[in-house]
A and B are shown apart, each in its own frame.
Chain A
Amino acid sequence: MADVAIKPNTQIDLLNATIDQPLVTGVPSYHEITESVARIVEDKPTKLWFGMLAVTVSLLGMLLVMLAYLTATGIGVWGNNIPVAWAWDITNFVWWIGIGHAGTLISAILFLLRQRWRTGINRAAEAMTLFAVACAAIYPVFHTGRPWRALYWLFPYPNTMQMWLNFRSPLEWDVFAVSTYGTVSLLFWYVGLLPDLATIRDRATGLRRTLYGFFSLGWRGSAHHWKHYELAYMVLAGLSTPLVLSVHSIVSFDFAVSVLPGWHTTIFPPYFVAGAVFSGFGMVLTLLIITRKALKVEHLITLKHIDYMCKVMLATSMIVGYAYATEYFIAWYGGVNGEQFAFYNRLFGPYWWATWSMIFCNVVAPLPLWWTAVRTNITAVFIITIFVNIGMWFERFVIIAISLHRDFLPSSWEYFQPTYVDILTYIGSMGLFLTLYLLFIKFLPMIAIAEVKGAIAQDIEQGAHH
């Protein structure tokens, strides 16, 4: 990224010259920024929006039906069975959690690194984090079969059975990691929204004014407010940075702490984190490419943003590819039969197609991103992100299901197949995600108004000293 990185001391660099695509096109005035973002919230929803909402709400309804069916019948309606006790459910859980990681990376890590290009995309990416965590949570919760009876072994509270949790289990660490991650992401997102909700409030009348006024908590933008606000925001970014790294590390402990070949490897935490960022940027790009076009905010979410996100995706794709290679190398070099068989079975066993799809989608398909022409070609980027979304789902399926289906005892080998409930639940969870996303872009400012203005003000200020 160094060659086109923003040089902090020049106004012109950030906004127009030296790079092909400006970050914020044409230096809009503060008022123009307010207008272009608030307009989306204030305009009547389009027919397109209603049409899309109708589709996603139908999918959401299907999710609810499937979950009701599962709860009423038992988790036997899924394809999971011994030896493949974790299958699509945990695959989907890890996939969704991973998608959330891009949001936190953009909002927290890039904030601390002073990457100001994040301001156009951080709000939408953070929202995706929240929605992805909500989708992820469905799977382990419903995998318990009777979620209302799972509470006492998920969360520590004094119960009538006088039992406590097993804190030695990585699954328990995961409960804390994911619930903390969801909570902190929600707080971070909401704090970022406060000034923008106040902006919408001050432009609105009637009921809208009351509602946005209520949720902006009476934000006034006083210098005194901003002082504490900036510190709180900085601390939240500082906390979220190690938090996001810890979450997927702890998710990977669910596997790495076991003794199963294919799971029991020390490379898992960094490998999972890189994969999470990779898949997260894939999903953020997929959705933002559609959103910026549909909502006509191409001047705020520019080709430059897409270019940068592609570079992050390319870098993490390289890390993921390297991790695959390391896994196979260690399996061969370690000389342990069970381990060697597990990896041979991945490549040439009954699920060879899943492994090769994973390698193609995650390692080969992103390679064209080395070329600027590809990174700035919206259609090409969109197609690559679809490959990434699919490839990263396969990665989790490969790790989870293929490692389980042939373990130490050949007599218990099994070929896992999903049921229609597995498939419809997964598609339904996309309905939940997209419904929440559609509501978000309609009712909340999807671009951080105050932050974009702040970034422009900084450039004007620095430009004045030249």
Chain B
Amino acid sequence: MANTHASAPAIVQPSAQGKPWAVATTFYSTSDLLDAIRTVRKKGYRKLDAFTPFPIHGIDDAMGESRSKLGYLIACCGITGIVTAQLLMYWTGAVDYPVLVGGKPLYAVEFTVPITFELMVLFSAFAAVFGMLAFNGLPRFNHPVFNYSGYHRATDDGFVLVVERDGNHFEPAAIVELLNELGGETTEIVHEDA
């Protein structure tokens, strides 16, 4: 809790009660943020996250993030939509409730095209949205980063970089110093909720 390094200009939040979670700092340009991420990673810190008001081009490369796998989920759901539509129209129209209308066949590929397409789109869209939320662990209303006093800038004009505690290995003072050297402002040790 106490700031043992008098030299480090970190502010320790009086309200923070839980274990230290990370060191957070704010940059005010995307290039400063990207440079900082690269430097911090070179120093061996691996558990990083950045909180930004808009997606930043090139940040995934800088952070070593892999490509999103969401596309596979969406493709699977899209195929499920196609199969559902076909089974629905074939089974209800030609098996369970066969009614001749205007001499048209009970089932034919042609008339099933529009609804098959619509269900493919519908299922894929659900997968895209709910898959995105699930992959991101949302909704989640409580997160340690909200304890950072500068967080509100991350949805406005600030680019917040967070170096998280990695297991038991955590030397906040050194990280604070490093982040300040890189030009970060409002550098803080952020704690988890009690």
Residue of A nearest to B126 (CB): A187
Q: Is the CB of A183 within 8 A of B54?
A: no
Tell me which of A49-57, A163-171, A328-336 binds B: A163-171
* Chain A residues positioned under 8 Å from B31 (CB to CB): 461, 464
Q: Is the CB of A164 within 8 A of B93?
A: yes
**Which residues of chain B in 34-71 are interfacial with respect to chain A, using CB atoms and an 8 Å cutoff?**
49-57, 59-60, 63, 65, 67-68, 70-71
Determine the distance from Cα of A457 to Cα of B51 in the docked complex, in whole angstroms: 16
Question: B-facing mask of A244-277, CB < 8 A → 1, else 0?
Answer: 0010001001000000000000000000000000
Interface size class of B (residues with CB under 8 A): 35 or more
Q: Is the CB of A253 within 8 A of B132?
A: no
Distance in Å: Cβ of B101 to nearest Cβ of chain A: 6
Interface size class of A (residues with CB under 8 A): 35 or more
Q: Is the CB of B114 within 8 A of A176?
A: yes
Determine the distance from Cα of A166 to Cα of B100 in the docked complex, in whole angstroms: 10
* Chain B residues positioned under 8 Å from A199 (CB to CB): 53, 155-156
Chief secondary structure at chain A's binding surface: helix
Question: A-facing mask of B83-111, CB < 8 A → 1, else 0?
Answer: 00000110011001101011010000001
Determine the distance from Cα of A187 to Cα of B129 in the docked complex, in whole angstroms: 7
Within the complex, which residue of A156, A184, A224, A461 is in contact with B136, where a contact is CB–CB below 8 Å? A224
* Chain A residues positioned under 8 Å from B104 (CB to CB): 168
User: Is A454 close to B, CB under 8 A?
Assistant: yes
* Given A230-B55, A232-B132: A218 touches B138 (CB 8 Å cut-off): yes
Within the complex, which residue of B71, B124, B143 is in contact with A239, where a contact is CB–CB below 8 Å? B124
User: Is A149 close to B, CB under 8 A?
Assistant: no
* Given A176-B114, A218-B139, A221-B53: A203 touches B122 (CB 8 Å cut-off): no
Residue of B nearest to A32 (CB): B157
* Chain B residues positioned under 8 Å from A176 (CB to CB): 114-115, 118-119
Q: Is the CB of A243 within 8 A of B155?
A: no
Most buried by A among B60, B96, B111: B111
User: Is B131 close to A, CB under 8 A?
Assistant: yes
* Chain A residues positioned under 8 Å from B119 (CB to CB): 176, 180
Chief secondary structure at chain B's binding surface: helix
User: Is B182 close to A, CB under 8 A?
Assistant: no
User: Is A31 close to B, CB under 8 A?
Assistant: yes
* Chain B residues positioned under 8 Å from A167 (CB to CB): 89, 92-93, 111-112, 115
Determine the distance from Cα of A306 to Cα of B109 in the docked complex, in whole angstroms: 44
Residue of A nearest to B95 (CB): A164
Residue of B nearest to A30 (CB): B157
Residue pairs across A and B with Cβ atoms less than 8 A apart, 24 shown, are A164-B92, A164-B97, A166-B99, A168-B101, A168-B111, A173-B114, A173-B115, A176-B114, A176-B118, A199-B156, A202-B152, A202-B154, A202-B156, A213-B141, A219-B138, A220-B143, A221-B52, A227-B60, A229-B132, A232-B132, A235-B128, A450-B54, A457-B54, A461-B31
8 further contact pairs, Cβ within 8 A, besides A195-B155, A239-B125: A30-B53, A164-B93, A167-B115, A217-B138, A220-B154, A228-B70, A228-B135, A451-B54
User: Ordered nearest first, which 6 A-B pairs have the shortest CB separation?
Assistant: A30-B157, A164-B92, A232-B132, A217-B139, A454-B54, A226-B55
